[in-house]
Amino acid sequence: MTEPLLEVTDLQVSFGDVPAVRGAGLRLMPGERVAVVGASGSGKSTTAHAVMGLLPGAGRVTGGRISFRGEDITHAGEKRLCALRGRQIGLVPQDPMSNLNPVARIGRQVAETLVAHGLASRREAKDRAVEILAEAGLPDPGRRARQYPHEFSGGMRQRVLIAIGLACRPDLLIADEPTSALDVTVQRQILDHLEKLTQDLGTALLLVTHDLGLAADRADHVVVMSEGKVVEAGPARQILTAPDHDYTKRLVAAAPSLTTTPPRDRRTAEPVLEVVGVSKEYRIRGGGGALRAADDVSFTVQRGQTTAIVGESGSGKTTTAHMVLGLVTPTAGTIRLNGTDGTRRGRRRAMQAVFQDPYGSLDPMFTVERLITEPLRIFGIGDRASRRARVSQLLDQVGLSPAMAQRYPNELSGGQRQRVAIARALAPEPRLVVCDEAVSALDVLVQDQILRLLENLQRELGLSYLFISHDLAVVRSIAHDVVVMRGGRVVEQGPVGQVLDSPADPYTRQLLDAIPGATVFS
């Protein structure tokens, strides 16, 4: 029997006195692909970083054993780790935007690792870097190697990071959420390429991800982590189709990409929002010309229903949402919100928004009560006592305890914050709620809870949603109608079942195919 490449047994990691990993174990054979799956805070990334000796700040391994090719590296010295890092164990980090040194040329950042491990002289490394970048699928690598990170798109940066990770031909590549920040179609290209490269080079892959579907698509073995512990491990297909542990079951059930569309009843046909031929042009600074962020966009939102706008970055979906909200003035076209007096103030009141980042969209200096009553105070609704009663009612509606009213946002979890954001949106009794990527920053289980909450609120209060998302799977689980956008234009629209089950446009097809895990059940 061959020796395992990496073996982690009963690993314990603490940050100060706070345990982050409490008994993680996994084993990776040479050339094998293993995925570690879990929600944020499950300890999956911490485990991966512990393997490389890259725990941040006060992080310490307090127990267990990490062995690489039979060598115990649990408490290896910095010198030994430096020799291992990059050379034997490569890393592809999570966020392509923040993981490249902004002041160094791309080529140099690749060459650096070759020189550090004595694989090439400075001069040789320069040419070698261009070859490696070409291998990672970077077009025009000779010219690109002389550029800086800010001249690269997210997908291209991620290719550079893959090039760096594989530059020294390591035996093990740790990929920590390598594509979470990218659009689905780009994600697919990158993962395909990564898969091909690791296969050609015989590199073992430790894939850290929150996405069960992605894990199932890309790994032989899946390790599920929750609250610092491994709760289940086994062959990928088995974990997804026949999960054993309760947590895994919940995870599989909540993953939007792995479920099928529940039928949605469509009774009313009374439009709340009518957008007709709306365009937005931005003049390009310096160079002249104009950028059409949105081009002749038309759609409607029916009362008590959800219309989703789906598209990748740059598709114009957010610009469209901002025009609906009146935050951006359209260059052409009309936006009608029925049942309001037509004044800007009236429109604002009838239309509320929930944004993506629950950490950024709530003022950290306000209590929950003040956050929720703010729109009431602005629109002069009720008096102090009635507002207070309304806060309790709203908190109850979004599934939070009224006792939370006196808390500050930093005392709440991400899901709780998003519930507060929803409560605030509901406060002035709007007709339309615009959800701009409202569940994109949340973990699968929390995301599912928030989606169900939105659904229930819609049923109870007859709310209409304009739901902006990049995630077709999420859209499938919440929307009645869907508008697919690309490059500022609507490429396709119609009822969810029709568009997603038998797409007419090839781009929609492409988006659907790119959803990870879609093939597991088919």
Partner 1 sequence: MARYLFHRLWQSALTLVLASIIVFIGVRALPGDPALAMAGEEADPATVAAVRAELGLDESIVVQYLKFMGNAVVGDFGKSIRTGTPVSEMLGATLPVTIQLAIYAMLIALLLGLATGVVAAVFRGRWPEWTANGFSLFALSVPTFWLGILAVLYLSVQLGWFPASGYVSPFEHPLRGVYYLTLPALILGLTHAAVVQRQTRSSMVETLTADFVRTARAKGLGRAAVIFRIGLRNSLIVVTTIVGLQLGGLIAGAVVTERIFSLPGIGKLTLDSVFTRDYPVIQAVVLVITAAYIVINLLVDFLYTVIDPRMRVSGRTS
Helix (H, G, I), strand (E, B) or coil at 416: helix
Tell me the closest approach of the beta carbon of residue 91 to partner 1, in angstroms.
4
Q: Is 56 in the site for partner 1 (CB under 8 A)?
A: yes
- Report how far residue 225's alpha carbon sits from residue 470's, in angstroms, rounded to the nearest whole number: 26
Q: Is 153 in the site for partner 1 (CB under 8 A)?
A: yes
Within 10 angstroms of residue 411's Cβ, the number of other Cβ atoms is 12
Tell me the closest approach of the beta carbon of residue 295 to partner 1, in angstroms.
23
Residue 168's region, left for phi above 0, alpha for psi from -120 to 50, else beta, is alpha
Tell me the closest approach of the beta carbon of residue 49 to partner 1, in angstroms.
8
Exactly one of 148, 359, 366, 379 binds partner 1 (CB under 8 A); that residue is 148
Query: Using CB under 8 A, which residues numbered 421 to 480 contact partner 1?
Result: none
Find, among 54, 60, 45, 58, the residue nearest to 12 by Cα: 60
Given a contact cutoff of 8 angstroms between Cβ atoms, the answer to whether 94 and 178 are in contact is yes
Tell me the closest approach of the beta carbon of residue 105 to partner 1, in angstroms.
8
Nearer to partner 1 by Cβ, of 54 and 461: the residue is 54
Tell me the closest approach of the beta carbon of residue 438 to partner 1, in angstroms.
26
* CA angle (360, 363, 369) in 5-degree steps: 125
Q: Is 279 in the site for partner 1 (CB under 8 A)?
A: no
- Counting Cα atoms < 13 Å in the Cβ hemisphere of 210 gives 20
- In Å, how far are 53, 55, 149, 344 from 28, measured between CA atoms? 18, 21, 33, 60
Nearer to partner 1 by Cβ, of 103 and 269: the residue is 103
Nearer to partner 1 by Cβ, of 94 and 464: the residue is 94
Secondary structure letter of residue 287 according to DSSP = T
Using CB under 8 A as the binding criterion, the count of chain residues that bind partner 1 stands at 41
Residue 357's region, left for phi above 0, alpha for psi from -120 to 50, else beta, is beta
Exactly one of 1, 57, 341, 344 binds partner 1 (CB under 8 A); that residue is 57
Exactly one of 6, 24, 162, 164 binds partner 1 (CB under 8 A); that residue is 164
Q: Is 168 in the site for partner 1 (CB under 8 A)?
A: yes
Q: Is 216 in the site for partner 1 (CB under 8 A)?
A: no
Element at 116 (helix H, strand E):
helix 106-116
Nearer to partner 1 by Cβ, of 150 and 509: the residue is 150
Q: Is 150 in the site for partner 1 (CB under 8 A)?
A: yes
- Report how far residue 218's alpha carbon sits from residue 195's, in angstroms, rounded to the nearest whole number: 8
Given a contact cutoff of 8 angstroms between Cβ atoms, the answer to whether 496 and 475 are in contact is yes
Nearer to partner 1 by Cβ, of 93 and 107: the residue is 93
Q: Is 288 in the site for partner 1 (CB under 8 A)?
A: no
Given a contact cutoff of 8 angstroms between Cβ atoms, the answer to whether 499 and 508 are in contact is yes
- Report how far residue 404's alpha carbon sits from residue 493's, in angstroms, rounded to the nearest whole number: 41
Q: Is 98 in the site for partner 1 (CB under 8 A)?
A: yes
User: Tokens standing for 121?
Assistant: 């002289």
Nearer to partner 1 by Cβ, of 138 and 468: the residue is 138
What are the φ and ψ backbone dihedral angles of 426, each rounded to 5 degrees?
A: -80, -20
Exactly one of 70, 262, 287, 364 binds partner 1 (CB under 8 A); that residue is 287
Find, among 221, 495, 225, 465, the residue nearest to 351 by Cα: 465
What are the φ and ψ backbone dihedral angles of 14, each rounded to 5 degrees?
A: -125, 150
Query: Using CB under 8 A, which residues numbered 333 to 352 contact partner 1?
Result: none
Stretch that binds partner 1, among 110-118, 224-232, 294-302, 357-365 (CB under 8 A): 110-118
Tell me the closest approach of the beta carbon of residue 510 to partner 1, in angstroms.
23
Stretch that binds partner 1, among 49-57, 180-188, 248-256, 342-350 (CB under 8 A): 49-57
Site residues for partner 1 per CB under 8 A: 52, 54, 56-57, 78, 82-87, 90-91, 93-95, 98-104, 112-113, 116-117, 147-148, 150-153, 156, 161, 164-165, 167-168, 286-287
